[in-house]
């Protein structure tokens, strides 16, 4: 086990690496190298406080057994857990979850938002090439923590047949995070032709009553695109 000075040296190195990666993401709109720097640096940065949590990752005969996919299975989505475990999505989601929980300073907000957007893109890519069970994905969205909820929205964006009006309405009207609402709005825009008249009315009402859609924000722009669409 790492103790004392070596651990704090990791933290100092991590602060520099995470800071450099976050700056590069904001300045260059992101890259795989910059994202890796933020994740790696953040892990080093918080290592003195959470080094014991490394036990969440364990190497087994079947590869990297992650607590993340176990939680997905426990939430009622065992088939989805197996699919995610076979992709790099499980590792990426667990890494983002770790960064999201441990780095609460607003200085990291833009970098964290970008990381979450990339998580959605990767989830969508997995859903486009592998069939998920719609009931499981909807259950996962309804019962999971914020990071998993956004991941579920990403799966729905990759395969719109996984989405339903109830999940879209919840993401917009009762989001667990700002990015969840943004992804819910994007999903509503994508699925608009498939939504029933009552669901369309519900989405419009959720937008019109939401206190978080400030003028000029990225969420407001998507919301305005939805309000410009036909009601029926």
pLDDT of res. 102: 67
83-87, 88-92, 200-204: range with lowest mean pLDDT: 88-92
Residue 20 within any structural domain of the chain? no
26-30, 58-62, 127-131, 156-160: range with lowest mean pLDDT: 58-62
Question: Using one digit for the tens of pLDDT, what is the confidence trace for 122-133?
Answer: 999 999 999 999
Mapped to the 3 state alphabet, what secondary structure does the chain carry? CCCCHHHHHHHHHHHHHHHHHHHHHHHHCCCHHHHHHHHHHHHHHCHHHHHHHHHHEEEECCEEEEHHHHHHHHCCCHHHHHHHHCCCHHHHHHHHHHHHHHCCCHHHHHHHHHHHHHHHHHHHHHHHHCCCCHHHHHHHHHHCCHHHHHHHHHHHHHCHHHCCHHHHHHHHHCCCCHHHHHHHHHHHHHHHHHCCHHHHHHHHHHHHHCCCCCCCCHHHHHHHHHHCCCCC
Residue 196 within any structural domain of the chain? yes
Domain limits at 88? 57-227
Residue 205 within any structural domain of the chain? yes
The pTM is what? Answer: 0.72
Residue 27 within any structural domain of the chain? no
Question: Using one digit for the tens of pLDDT, what is the confidence trace for 38-51?
Answer: 444 444 444 444 43
Residue 15 within any structural domain of the chain? no
Question: Using one digit for the tens of pLDDT, what is the confidence trace for 7-39?
Answer: 444 444 444 444 444 444 445 444 555 555 544
Total count of domains within the chain: 1
């Amino acid at each position: 086990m790492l103790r004392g000075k070596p651990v704090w040296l990791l933290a100092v190195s991590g602060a520099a690496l995470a800071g450099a990666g976050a700056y590069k993401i904001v300045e260059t709109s992101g890259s795989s190298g910059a994202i890796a720097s933020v994740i790696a640096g953040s892990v080093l940065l918080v290592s003195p406080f959470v080094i014991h949590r490394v036990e969440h990752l364990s190497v087994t005969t079947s590869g990297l057994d992650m607590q993340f996919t176990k939680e997905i299975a426990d939430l009622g989505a065992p088939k989805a857990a197996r699919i995610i475990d076979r992709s790099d999505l499980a590792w990426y989601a667990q890494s983002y979850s770790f960064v999201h929980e441990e780095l609460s300073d607003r200085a990291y907000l833009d970098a964290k938002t970008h990381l979450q957007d990339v998580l959605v893109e990767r989830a969508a890519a997995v859903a486009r090439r592998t069939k998920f069970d719609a009931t499981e994905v909807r259950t996962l969205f309804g019962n999971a923590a914020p990071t998993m909820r956004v991941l579920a929205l990403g799966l729905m964006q990759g395969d719109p047949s996984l989405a339903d009006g109830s999940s879209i309405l919840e993401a917009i009207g009762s989001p667990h995070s700002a990015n969840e609402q943004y992804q819910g709005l994007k999903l509503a825009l994508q699925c608009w032709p498939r939504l029933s008249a009552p669901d369309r009315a519900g989405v419009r009402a959720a937008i019109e009553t939401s206190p978080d859609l400030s003028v000029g924000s990225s969420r407001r722009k998507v919301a305005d695109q939805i309000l410009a669409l036909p009601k029926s």
